[in-house]
Amino acid sequence: MERWNGRVAIVTGASSGIGAAIAKDLAKAGMVTIGLARRVERVEQLRKEIPEAAAKRLHPIKCDISNEADIDAVFKQVEERFGGCDVLVNNAGITKKTDLLEVGNTAEIKAVLDTNVTGLVLCSQRAYQSMVKRSVDGHIIHISSIAGHTVPHIPKLNIYPGTKHAVRAITETMRHEMRNAGKKIKVTSISPGGVKTEIVDMADIPPNMPFLDSEDISEAVLYVLGTPPHVQVHELIIKPIGEMF
């Protein structure tokens, strides 16, 4: 992680769970960390949970990833205040508890797509352009899900597995585009199994299902960022022992 010391990381969905763990750990690892969230006061609270030096490197900014104007405003602010983006962690993700074939849930389905897919792509576009503009060999990381490799038999997940399958294809498309452009910017998808976060409450989870901790995924982010410049971890799947999926 030494080469990232003092560099700028943007973490979406940083108010709780995996995003909060990643934001705290990147700040502790020496990165200037921009924590994006709609509930920005919760990112501010994270600064009280880490050492003072790290807290000074953690900067909360309010942002709704499903809103393109918010995304543009954030990346403009990051460029003006911090120089630009060197690492982007696309962590923000939601689900809505409804059946896919249920009529009348269009707003819920669009909300999931706008955050999990469109928002991820728009943030990646802006981060990539920031890296290219400054000739930075940066890193884009998508926090996906095991639901992007299979379709868990969990009621009410509706479009969520579809969005995570889309992230797999998007990751591969980005890799091809970066290679064709002759860039050495890395792109990685990290797919956790069950993690004890607020999103678990939005699904009908089987009893006695084992879970990972948010910190397990944050450690994976530090690992992929810490690889040498010639190494790209393209896909990383992390499951708790005993998971059925």
Query: Which tokens belong to 97?
Result: 């508890």
pLDDT at position 189 over 90: yes
pLDDT, averaged across the chain: 95
pLDDT at position 200 over 80: no
pTM: 0.95
Report helix, strand or coil for 98. coil
Query: Does the annotation mark 128 as catalytic?
Result: no
Model confidence pLDDT, tens digit, residues 100-146: 999 999 999 999 999 999 999 999 999 999 999 999 999 999 999 99
Domain residue spans of the chain: 2-238
Distance of CA 191 to the CA centre of its chain: 11
pLDDT for residue 92: 97
Residues 6+ apart with CB under 8 A from 189: 141, 142, 144, 148, 167, 168, 171, 234, 235, 236
pLDDT for residue 149: 96
pLDDT for residue 201: 64
Residues 6+ apart with CB under 8 A from 164: 116, 144, 145, 147, 148, 191
| Per annotation, catalytic residue among 22, 117, 160, 212 | 160
pLDDT for residue 204: 66
CATH fold, domain 2-238, is Rossmann fold (3.40.50)
pLDDT band at 245 (very low <50, low <70, confident <90, very high): confident
pLDDT band at 209 (very low <50, low <70, confident <90, very high): confident
